[in-house]
Amino acid sequence: MAKRILLLGATSTIMRQVALNLVGKDDLVCLAARNTEELALIAADLRLRTGAALVTTHKFDTSDFATHQELVETAQRELGGLDIVVAGTGALGDQMKARQSLATIKDIIDSNYVGIATTLSIAANIMEQQGSGCLCVLSSVAGDRGRQSNYLYGSAKSGMNGFMQGLRNRLAPAGVRVITIKLGFIDTKMVAGKSGTFLMASPEAAGAHIAKRVRQGADVVYFPFFWRYIMLIIRNIPEFIFKRMKL
């Protein structure tokens, strides 16, 4: 049976791999991202590789809140409904610059939390009404505990995780699945050249695993899996010790 899929942030390295692994022959797909020229190239490639029956593209900017409802409703209309929505937008941002710039703080929080929450809220209402669907967000292990090196990015991801947890609780009775993917270090432009990165996974492996979880079902997923145990340790370090650590 053909799936009706909306992919938000479709130009990201990981989301390209999600699309290739998730979209199948005869599926109906809407790709949304800020860079419309790059989006058109990705759409053409996706049609060729997957045999999707329909691939449309639309501009999506997490900070342009006035357009979010129109985007989701347009995708619903074009595809004839929404079975799967995957949101993979976000930016690490410049933590040091943000200390002196309120605009930078807002950009980090909007791109990693607020702009995604507003868009998914609209999709959630549609899926709740139709009594089916799957909402999936690519979040980060950074949201598990605030650290001095990236607490703005981490706090936004923490907010996103809490939002998804509440949405999961709300939508479970309606038969709508809500999945939070907490990613560790993935070899993408976001972490290229950053200090402190280790045990990086490939975008190809991440995309395949995310698509698998969307198809098979999950609640909260750590990828790579060992980050669940790394973050378990970090979350349980006593605060009087943790506040003196350089993480």
Could you list the active site residues? 153
The edge-to-edge listing of strands for the beta sheet with 54-59 is 54-59, 28-33, 4-8, 84-87, 133-140, 176-183, 220-223
Q: At residue 227, what are phi and psi to the nearest 5 degrees?
A: -65, -25
Note every long-range contact of 96-101, with CB atoms under 8 Å and residues 24 or more positions apart, other chains counting: 98/152
Place of tokens 């930016």: 91
* CA–CA distance, 95 with 246 (Å, rounded to integer): 15
| Structure-derived torsion over alpha carbons of residues 45, 9, 28, 120, reported in degrees to the nearest 10 | 180
Q: Give Cα 99 distance to the centre of its chain.
A: 25
* CA–CA distance, 115 with 68 (Å, rounded to integer): 8
What are 31's strand-pairing partners? 7, 57
* Pairing of β 4-8 and β 84-87: parallel
Q: Which residues of 48-84 are buried (b: 16+ CB within 10 A; e: fewer)?
A: eebebeebebbebbbeeeeebeebbebbbeebeebbb
